[in-house]
Structure 1
């Protein structure tokens, strides 16, 4: 046997080590993961765990990727959004039952609230996904998405209220305290103004009203995450029903191929930095608009970036940087963000109080009606039914945090711009109509 035909030499220690380093838990190399565990445990034991940026990033990355990795190893339920459910709710439960060390809770909470982590993520995802989108697809998607969202809202209000009444609720309570909060756009933009309006109309304290609305929002969010995971699984079984993140069906096969093909923008590191600066600038313009006029900052940012894409304001090179920015945030930041929000902002106690079977069935029927209506109506108006149903599911989510969890479960983060329409605009319309109807039926 000559030397050329000899079998390959055994892997060296260096080869094995590099292979281990290339193995990942989330985005963390396995050796780095265990070093982080040891270092952060030592800092916690010594009482020296800081709330600064590097420590905060390490904590939420370790926690988020651990939750997602555990969920991926559970058969069956991993197909229905288990990774998102674990990352979004298990940390909150650990905090509530005091199973998470207090220094870690404090460090993660301080980091999350001072860094405004959530809105940095939403800005990067919205700007990155919109600037990476084909212009014609963008136009068709934004024009059409209001149809399934509106149809789903009306159908869900009727079905959810009917189910609540059938289970022994009063119609007024079922509609205004369970169904409407689910579609109101989350906590800050939904449950809070809704409960404040209810309290003012009835001349009572806001606290009990807010607790009831919040419990309904939490239940709706959990059901929506499960529905999104199931829709993603259905999409793998029925590929003709899904655009894999593309919302509208192309007019012909040639267009379809063009829209599905990745956009080939040239970019470099400076282009990624320019895209990040663009995203932050658009978000800050939204914040200023909110301060001056009371307009929701994410909606203003969404309108501006859509206009920038339609009128080709941003150069192809920076759009390429935005595409890379979107890929980075959707891959490396999603689960750490969900862990951070779960620890700092998700009240497990409110979720537990909502676990009464009547509330669960009513909330589930509301969300399922939204999703099924989105599926059917979306298909009728030229959308991929899986994507239309997922966007409708975000209408029953927990605001921006719910959009992240639902789209993560669906593996469709590209739909974030449309989810923001369903959540922000759909939620605002729901709150206004509900308060007017509540006052009229008093």
Structure 2
């Protein structure tokens, strides 16, 4: 063993010791209900729980090979830990508040979207932009076909199969999808809004769980069929163009600070524009960053800073955010209550149809089918922003966040327009 290897091993041992000490202190504070309030208490618990569950998931046979490893275990494990009452003392409420109204999810997504778009080559971005919309349409078409056929097999009419199951699943999540969809349908069909929501929410929850598991399976499929995947690169043959130079992600405190400020500013820009343009703030943020990137308005040094911040956030905060998703957005009881064989098969068929349709059309458009299936299919069939993070974490393709957000936000908006026309035909 040479000197450099010995130094690395020594540093790794020190890091593990520090993590174990921090875990012991925070877990004791949690056990004795002495966690501080606000962000510091929530984030401390999320980091430690996320680290432990992620470590276990990545080393558990079968789960680490076929089901996404740590990401799956963090989401569902943290949901069970905090919702079962095993961990008490109000920490569940702290984590929920910090993740939702505290803005942790928005902060994370803004960091990923900004850094990944600005870190992308301009040529790749231009090629992908126009070809991506047909991928979403392919996902919608095949998912509706599968849901309709399976529904007819079980004796359901097309309204029940498509409007109450397939459409909400493909609609961009809860806040941007199911809620406005219920408003549209209740106003035009006369159906009770509460009844509609009670039928749609379980479909969303189950579809989100299935999408996460399928994402892990697609990652494994990519290992078995390497010609089907770009390992995070969407366009076939563009991996070399999109690869960043090693010097761009060197740790630099000033660079990280600038990158964080750019990401936050881009989120503010999307929010301001949403007050003028009737679109989701995330969608407007994506369009704004893409326009800045293509036009060359931002100096390369600042683009590198945004990409460095993206790398830092993905590498250090992903398990913590997955805990927030598990606690704030994943209700295992709701999933289990709705898990009848017929309901599960219909939801499963919708998710698989979305992945298959996106994969096939993506291949025809010059994309890798696995990346297309993940972003254009599974990220249409999950629960929006939280589902995007979970799906990309399970498939180990976080750099695809901009395309995932296009699916959730722009694709979700398209589904609401489609719902307006479909009600006239099926209601």
What is the TM-score of this pair, normalised by structure 2? 0.92
Residue 222, structure 1, aligned to residue 209, structure 2: yes
Q: Map residues 339-354 of structure 1 onto 2, 5 A cutoff.
A: 339-354=323-338
Distance 1:261 1:146 in 2: 26
Does structure 1 retain, via aligned residues, the 8 Å contact 2:113–2:401? yes
Check the 8 A contact 1:51/1:110 in 2, yes or no.
Answer: no
- State the Cα distance separating 1:166 from its structure 2 match: 0.6
Matched, 1:383 2:356: no
Give the SS at the match of 2:275: helix
Q: Which string of whole-angstrom CA distances, capped at 9 and with x for unpartnered residues, describes residues 263-316 of structure 1?
A: 754874323222211111110121122334442110111011001110111111
Q: Deviations over 1:350-400 (max 9, x none)?
A: 212221111111111111111122222211221111111111211101100
| Structure 1 residue 105 displacement after superposition | 1.4
Is the partner of 2:100 in helix, strand or coil? Answer: helix
Q: How does 1:355-366 map to 2 (within 5 A)?
A: 355-366=339-350
1:223–1:113 CA distance, 2 compared to 1 (3 A)? closer
- 2:314 aligned residue (298, 306, 330): 330
Calculate the aligned-residue CA RMSD, in Å: 2.5
* Partner SS, residue 230 of structure 2: coil
Alpha-carbon offset, residue 155 of structure 1: 1.5
Q: Which residue of 2 aligns with 1:435?
A: 420
Q: Following TM superposition, by how much is the alpha carbon of 1:38 offset from its aligned partner in structure 2, in angstroms? A: 2.7
Q: Which residue of 2 aligns with 1:160?
A: 147
Q: Distance in 2 between matches of 1:122 and 1:203?
A: 37
Offset of 1:97 from its aligned partner?
2.5
**Can you give the 5+ residue segments of structure 2 that lack an aligned partner in the other structure?**
none
Please point out which of 26, 47, 63 is paired with 1:77: 63
Work out whether residues 61 and 336 of structure 1, in 8 Å CA contact, stay in contact via their aligned partners in 2. Answer: yes
Q: Summarize the Cα distance change of 1:375–1:47 in structure 2 as closer, same or farther, 3 Å threshold.
A: closer
Q: Which residue in 1 is equivalent to 2:380?
A: 395
Report deviation, 1:343.
Answer: 1.2
Shift of 1:160: 1.2
Specify the structure having the higher radius of gyration (Cα).
1
Matches within 5 A, 1:225-236: 225-236=212-223
Inter-partner Cα distance in structure 1 for 2:366 and 2:2: 55
2:396 is the counterpart of 1:411: yes
Q: Deviation string for 1:14-57 (max 9, x for gaps)?
A: 99875522xxxxxxx33233323332233335443222333222
In structure 2, the residue matched to 1:108 is 95
Equivalent residue of 1:145, what SS? Answer: helix
**How far is the alpha carbon of 1:77 from its aligned partner?**
2.3
CA displacement 1:79-138 (0-9 Å, x = unmatched): 222422222222223333222213321332233234210010000000000011011101
Q: Structure 1 CA distance, aligned partners of 2:12 and 2:119?
A: 33
Who is 1:425 aligned against?
410
Instruction: Report the TM-score when normalising by structure 1.
Output: 0.89
Is the Cα–Cα contact under 8 Å of residues 147 and 162 in structure 2 kept in the other structure? yes
Structure 1 residue aligned with 2:13, among 5, 13, 20? 20
Partner of 1:140: 127
The alpha-carbon distance between structure 1 residues 151 and 110, as it changes in their structure 2 partners (threshold 3 A), is: closer
Q: Is the Cα contact below 8 Å between 1:265 and 1:316 reproduced in 2?
A: no
The worse-fitting range, judged by mean Cα deviation, of 86-95 and 126-135 is 86-95
The answer (yes or no) to whether the contact 1:142–1:418 under 8 Å persists in 2 is no
Change (3 A) 1:43 1:429: same
Compared CA separation, residues 286 and 342, structure 1 to 2 (3 A): same
